[in-house]
Chain A
Amino acid sequence: MHGRLDPLHAARDFAAGYAAGMADGGARAIVAAGVAGIIVYAFPGYLSTDSIDQLAQARAGEYGDWHPPVMAALWHGVEIVVTGPLGMLVLQVTCFVVGAYLLLARVLAPRTAALVAVAIAWLPPIACELAVIWKDSQMAGYALLGVAFVGDSRRGARAAGLVLLGLASAMRYNAAALTLPIVLLAYAPPVHGARRLAIATVMWVAITGGAAAANRLLADRHEHPWQQSVAMMDLAGIARWSHADDRELAAALEGTPLRDASQIRERAQARYRPHWMWSEIWDDGGLFRPARDDTELDAITRAWRELVVAYPRAYLHHRWRMTRELLQVPGTYASDSAYVWFTDVQDLAGSARRSKHDAAPSRVQQLLQPAALWLGDSVWFAPWWYAVLSLVMLVFARRDRTAFALLAGGVLCELTLCFAAPTPDARYSLWLFVATAVGGALVVARRVRPA
């Protein structure tokens, strides 16, 4: 039986594992209430510009690669049964709460584990992001349930865990950073030492490569998200912080979609806003306009390489300024971190018409939404102190592989954002919030109730 992987066995083991973990009726009721609580807050699910784009792609069955095609394809499948955001909301919230519960049930009594899992899910920075149909929320849900299964002693559960981690990997380009420590440390095949590490490495490569391949295969059109956003933002940042003069910059940026080749540095200095670098691309006064053809895209890639190599300090300083915004360290521009709209907030009526979806808030939501927006501006949503807390707890988690993997994954995931985040959205830091809360709870629980 150990030699082969039968899907039916895997599914049965998966269900058996779930049933065993959820055997306590009280715990099951608490977990169900936890899921229901977030669904009441979010029903039928909040949608931003990105979500509306993905819903449109899911319905058309034509996927671009700006957003993960796997998520749009999954949404397409969910829409066979239930249209709109509700199906995706139920998926991400259920996976998250059940995953948190199963992880905590390893070290806590079932009811306590359920209560702590629900408390974590209801933490404002987590609940507010889980309420929106975003790739970040999807990733968090599948990744957490994947962590819970991947360390299981049953083969089927471990296989299910890897599938879930693969799904999470497909959701965000930087998910590989969170799955790496999880698979290397928490994946538990029935072998030890170097052999276990080798199998885990192969598994990580397989799920990461599989996720990337799936996204690539599903994409009907290539939208070059890096060149069209982060690369041009970096070029504007280097123009702002380097000491290069206009002649040097114009030469380096030749062929890129510059709006005006004169006074590049002066304009970059005047307009530089690390909390909203989109203004350099979307606004009429920005340095760039969106690239229109492959020649411009190639020129962007070439210019980025040349300028990063030529002015590494300017590049790093620009990324540091953006990272400060991302981490919301004191003194930076704190953007609204909670999102509470059922259609694209930038065009509520138009996006409702286009997506053929609209919803109104219930009276409970009318009370909770202002509270969420108020909390969204608070320190609850500031990733910097979650990062500090994670680093501190890594020390205490060194004997708990799962907790260590979670915390390390959170920190690594955040580190990738230092170089790749186009904007300082709090949702990008969702996994850091999750890893800190769940990893921290595991560390504390083990110390309170040693195994």
Chain B
Amino acid sequence: MMDLRERANRVRAWLAARTPRQLLLAGWVTCILLCYPGYLSFDSIEQLGQARSGHFTDAYAPVMTGVWSLCEWIFAGPFPMLALQTGLFVFGAYGVLKRALSPRAAAVVAVGVLAAPPVFAPMAVIWPDSLMAGALLAAAAALLDERRAMKAAGAVALVIAGGCRPEVAPATIPLAMLALPASLSGRLRRAGLAVALVVACSGVARLVGWILVDDDTYAWQQRLEWIDVVGTLRRAHADDPMPGLTVVDRARLLEGHDAYDAYVLTHGPKRVAEPIADDAQSEALSAAWHAAIADHFGAYATHRGELMLRQLGITHPWLPVFDDFGDPDHLMLLHHRATPSDLEIAWRAIVHVVALTPLFRPLLYVLLAIPAIVLARRRRELLALVASGVMYEIIQLPLASSVDYRFSHWLVATVWLVLVALAVARKPAWRAS
């Protein structure tokens, strides 16, 4: 009989003979199996309902609902979206990393980062943030490619990312710069072209969303402006009139000193105000928002600052991991139901243990982003990634509509990718030739 060492060597040799594509495929399938057929929150279930019915609202990213609706041609349920977002992530990451690493190392790092619990946890759920992360990585990889068709594909990926989270637009500028040839001179010129590309992609995303939406619910506006208005007024102790808006209980409007969930403010028996339902109320809410910021800027800044501290995981404990296949009663009409495999249960336990550590605190990644930027300064593709992650986190300061780990996922993912790639690249054999 062959001894154990010889067998281990044979296994090692067999693994070494696998191509990067095989490693990527195996890693991708494994990551899918760790959360198959994909976790669904309340919002995801509602979005699936819209994708299936073809009746779109702006409550959920309409571009993403459109993509989901297209996916439902081939496979119904969350599985195709899970495959899409994880596939874009892993192949996109590989496309970027192979510029800095050998193909095999790039494949292993791409799969490893996707499987890292802080990155994996949101990627396992069908959320706009997860699809956005995948689309951004795919965009970066495609824009780096010299071929015109790939650059066009990169622009499409930017449109999808912008369609998932419109506020990501500024954070895509560093990625858009990757599309520009190295021969193009002039920093201003380069930046201008990148901004033009981002504006065009964001415009297309907005236009597509506008065309797709059947019913406007002013969702994005309500999520942001209600918490800002109420949170600012509460901190300022100001009982400002809000003409054109239906306040249910003025006493409750000023109860407490913060407000971080627009849904709670506008729904249920303890609601403060009625949700807006038409253009006139939309304009009234915008006016109230502008007035609250202008009249009580200090209170507004405190409100946003406190929200950001929570978002970074500093002041309040939270539950950063969501891993549920969805409420069976909610899903009954959609005919989707799933149970976790033993593999998934074991992986969930690992993710939950890791979630207790600072690895799930975005503050850690804000701090790690600084050395990442310094170390990646000579690798434009890695620098663009981490810059994009940091910019998106900064955008959360004025634009986050609630406190949720997934809003920091892009920063977490980019810092992981860049730092791991830089660490791996320290070994010459693993660097790109």
Give me the interface of A with B, judged by CB distance under 8 Å.
6, 8, 40, 43-44, 79-84, 86, 342, 349, 352-353, 356-365
**Binary flags per residue of B1-39, CB closer than 8 Å to A gives 1, else 0:** 110000100000000000000000000000001001100
Q: Is the CB of A360 within 8 A of B52?
A: yes
- Which residues from A are CB-within-8-Å of B332? 349, 358
What CA separation (Å) do A43 and B331 show in the bound complex? 18
Contacts of A79 in B (CB 8 A): 341-342
**B267 touches A (CB below 8 Å):** no
Chain B 341-359, CB within 8 Å of chain A: the 1/0 string? 1111000000000000000
Residues of A within 8 A of B341 (CB): 79-83
**Any A CB within 8 A of the CB of B76:** yes
Instruction: Type the 1/0 row for B65-104, where 1 means its CB is closer than 8 Å to any CB of A.
Output: 0000000111111010000000000000000000000000
A84 to B339, CA, bound (A): 8
Which residues of A have CB within 8 Å of B79?
43-44
Note all chain B residues with C-beta closer than 8 A to A352.
335, 337
Q: A363 and B7: CB pair below 8 A? A: no
Specify the chain B residue showing the minimal Cβ separation from A6: B1
List A contacts of B72 (CB < 8 A): 362-363
Known pairs A43-B75, A83-B36 / 15 extra A-B pairs, C-beta < 8 Å? A6-B1, A6-B2, A40-B74, A79-B341, A82-B33, A82-B36, A82-B343, A353-B328, A358-B332, A358-B336, A359-B76, A359-B337, A360-B336, A362-B73, A363-B72
- Cβ B339 vs Cβ A360 within 8 A: no
Pair B343/A360 contact, Cβ less than 8 Å: no
- Residue on B with the closest CB to A4? B1
Nearest 4 Cβ contacts at the A-B interface? A360-B335, A358-B337, A362-B76, A363-B73
Q: Is B338 an interface residue (CB 8 A)?
A: yes
Chain B residues in 8 Å Cβ range of A365: 76
Q: Which residues of chain B are within 8 angstroms of A364 by Cβ–Cβ distance?
A: 73-74
- For A44, what are the chain B residues with a Cβ–Cβ distance below 8 Å? 37, 79
Interface centre among B52, B341, B343 (most CB of A within 10 A): B341
Residues in A with CB closer than 8 Å to B336 are 358-360
Q: Is B334 in the interface zone, CB < 8 Å from A?
A: yes
Contact, CB under 8 Å: A357 / B338: yes
List of B residues within 8 angstroms of A82 by Cβ: 33, 36, 341, 343
Check B76–A8 contact: CB distance below 8 A.
Answer: no
User: Footprint of A on B, CB under 8 Å?
Assistant: 1-2, 7, 33, 36-37, 52, 72-77, 79, 328, 331-332, 334-344
- Residues on A with C-beta less than 8 A from B334 are 360
| Cβ-neighbour of A362 out of B74, B342, B344 (below 8 A) | B74
Selected A-B contacts with CB under 8 Å, 28 pairs = A6-B2, A43-B75, A44-B79, A79-B342, A80-B341, A81-B341, A81-B342, A82-B36, A82-B341, A82-B343, A83-B36, A83-B339, A83-B340, A83-B341, A83-B344, A86-B36, A342-B335, A356-B328, A356-B338, A356-B339, A357-B338, A359-B337, A360-B52, A360-B334, A360-B336, A362-B73, A363-B72, A363-B73
**In the bound complex, how far is the Cα of B75 from the Cα of A260, in angstroms?**
52
Shortest CB-to-CB span from A9 to chain B, Å, is 9
Least CB distance, A265 to chain B, in whole angstroms: 48
Residue numbers in A under 8 Å from B36 (CB-CB) = 82-83, 86
**In the bound complex, how far is the Cα of B331 from the Cα of A40, in angstroms?**
22
Given the complex, which residues of A lie within 8 Å of B335, measured CB to CB?
Answer: 342, 352, 358-360
A274–B429 alpha-carbon span in the complex (Å) = 73
Cβ contacts under 8 Å, A81 to chain B: 33, 341-343
The listed residue (A8, A84, A359) touching B7 by CB distance below 8 A is A8
Q: How far is the CA of A201 from the CA of B422 in the complex (A)?
A: 62
Bound Cα distance from A358 to B40, whole angstroms: 15
Contact B343 A80 (CB under 8 A): yes
